[in-house]
Structure 1
Amino acid sequence: MKKILTKLMALAVVAVSVITLGACGASQKSGSSHTISIGIKYDQPGVGFKKGGTYTGFDVTVARYIAHYLGYKDYEIIWKEAPSKQREAMLQNRDVDMILASYSITDDRKKTVSFAGPYLVAGQDLLVRSDNTTIKGPQDLNGKRLCSVTGSTSATVIKERYSNKVQLMEQPSYAECATALFSGIVDAVTTDDIILAGLASNSRGRLKLVGRPFTQEYYGVGIHKGDKALAKKINAAINDMIKTGAWNQAIKDNTSGTGFTPNTKYNPPTAKEGE
């Protein structure tokens, strides 16, 4: 009888151990699935930039703040590259939970996706060589050579509204536009001011931001269409970031030495889009 009882007790211990291990496994699996997927740019220094396994830039800093506010740790963030032409599709296909990639809020885009924010109001500006003293705004580009990225409307805006004799040049990326500016092939580069500030910061003093924005671009957090609950949470995170001073610090950290200051008429913004 003692032998039988001993065997039964041993079996009971094994059974409890199996149940415990199973429960631990379930807990670990559940923990590992607590992640958030965020789309960013990989090729915009100061905004969204990937180098090795490191992600930096203002958009990345804001994205991290939002993720932390929503209850995610750094190791629970999955970063994904979000090229401009793929952003709507990535959200519609649920490849990502949100996108922060110099993503302007527009009525056309809101037909297929929703936004939270804005978290920054950028403005189109110009990047020139540091020794340039003649280009002070878009009206000074007649007879000059201007670079922008293929498919962008930035250069067209200047040609149609300010300098109809400007010579336009397109490159696949703003980094290549910056290279053309270094080498004297073009006289200026145009896009949103914070993107240009990032390029200037990466230029070791060879390039400078003109610092006279002439449009407004409301950067939003792209989310799945109609997700008002998430928009409200993201807006709370953005407004908290501004209130605590972390927003201002993020601007300073990511555009240091460029002279960039967000247009104080519009910044910092109040996030209420999508609610």
Structure 2
Amino acid sequence: MKKVRMLTTRMRAKRMLAVLAGVAVLGAAGGCGAGAASSVVGKERLVIGVRPDLPAIGFRKGDGRFEGFDVDVAAYLARKLGATPTFVPALAADRERLLLEGKADLVVATFSITQERKTRVSFAGPYHLSFQDILVRDGTTGIANVRDLAGRKICEVQGSNAAQRVIDERQIPASVVPASTYDQCMAMLKSGRIDAITTNDVILAGLAAREGRGVRLVNTQFNEQRTGVGLRKGDVDGCEAVNRAITDMYQDGTAGMLLRKWFGTSGLTIGTVSVPQFEGCS
């Protein structure tokens, strides 16, 4: 009886050791998996959120493919990281959610870097410096700069903060009219329901180029826009790798070539093309 009890005790001890060993292996594997998933470095495929609704920036064509400046930038960065890009749509209101829910590894979608956004996601870059501008109907008079938006109706796409910045930062008493897409803003502008659209100049230049006539870019520059690459919060290695790729993009002439390719005939002043000062990865 005593011998049987001793054997039973030994068997239980062996089972416990096996369980503990299994837990340790799973824990280690889980830790490695989490680390690999949390960084874009070393991935063979990168899911990248790009705009589907902005001509010349990020636009989804009828065949489902994406094209535009941001799309070309995203493809370049992916190649530099040794990965194959897969693009998914990222409307203004979806950019943070895609990262927070793990549905995108990077977001390259006119994502302006702000301190408030940096509390939830990380940013590499900026990869492009632009300014806020104003788009109006042809024949509109009295709007030559941001101060002239006082008392006017201006459109703001959900997830963007451009119109609100006119009110909060510039102290301009304008009326903000919400929209879900820039196509809705354009429809309201052309119908006269709003007086102007204000956001990044490259976005407005793309819209103006698509329309061809009937609208006009005011070409007033205010509120510098630092457009960055969104990453999951805390991916310092990924941020540094993307910054190196952005540096290469400027130094090898790709950045200037892409800006001229997409905006060279839009009337937008491109200016000097040089490596932007990065925000830093922390």
- Match of 1:269, SS state, is coil
How do 1:4-19 and structure 2 match up within 5 A? none
Query: Structure 1, unaligned stretches of length 5 or more?
Result: 1-32
Amino acid at match of 1:225: K
C-alpha distance after superposition, 1:208-258 (max 9, x if no partner): 221112102211111122222221221111111111221112112222432
Partners of 2:274 and 2:218 in 1: CA distance? 19
1:62 to 73, 80, 88: 73
Give runs of aligned pairs for residues 29-108 of structure 1, distance below 5 A. 34-51=44-61, 52-72=63-83, 76-108=84-116
User: How do 1:1-275 and structure 2 match up within 5 A?
Assistant: 34-51=44-61, 52-72=63-83, 76-150=84-158, 152-160=160-168, 161=170, 163-164=172-173, 166-262=174-270, 264=272, 268-271=275-278, 273-274=280-281
* Structure 1 residue 119: Cα displacement: 0.3
User: Which digits, 9 at most, give the CA deviation of each residue in 1:159-187, with x for residues without a partner?
Assistant: 453542x4442222211111222233322
Aligned to 2:27: none
Mapped partners of 1:43, 1:113: distance in 2: 23
Q: Which residue of 1 aligns with 2:26?
A: none
Instruction: Go from structure 1 to structure 2 and tell me whether the alpha carbon gap of 1:114 and 1:148 turns closer, same or farther (over 3 Å shift).
Output: closer
Write the distance in 1 (CA, Å) between the matches of 2:93 and 2:159. 10
Alpha-carbon distance in structure 2 between the residues aligned to 1:153 and 1:92: 19
Given residue 67 of structure 2, which amino acid in structure 1 is its aligned partner?
T
Rounded Cα–Cα distance in structure 2 between residues aligned with 1:98 and 1:87: 9
Shift of the 258–268 alpha-carbon distance from structure 1 to 2, 3 Å rule, reads farther
What secondary structure does 1:248 align onto?
helix
Distance 1:153 1:205 in 2: 27
How many residues get paired? 238
In the alignment, residue 269 of structure 1 is paired with which amino acid?
A: P
Closer, same or farther: CA 87–148 of 1 in aligned 2, 3 Å: closer
Q: Deviations over 1:178-209 (max 9, x none)?
A: 12222333221111111111111111132222
The alignment-based identity, stated in percent, is: 37
TM-score (norm 2): 0.76
Q: Residue by residue, what CA displacement relative to the aligned partner does 1:85-115 show, whole Å, maximum 9, x if unpaired?
A: 3323322332221111111222222222211
Task: Show structure 1 runs of 4+ deviating over 6 A.
Answer: none
Instruction: Report Cα offsets for 1:119-140 as digits up to 9, x if no partner.
Output: 0122221001233353111112
**Are the equivalent residues in 1 in contact too, given 2:250–2:274 (CA < 8 A)?**
no
Pair 1:221–1:167, CA change in 2 (3 A):
closer
2:44–2:82 Cα contact (<8 Å) kept: no
For 1:45, give the aligned amino acid: P
Query: Alpha carbons of 1:152 and 1:111: their partners in 2 closer, same or farther (altered >3 Å)?
Result: closer
CA contact (8 A) 1:138 1:162 kept: no
SS across alignment from 1:128:
strand
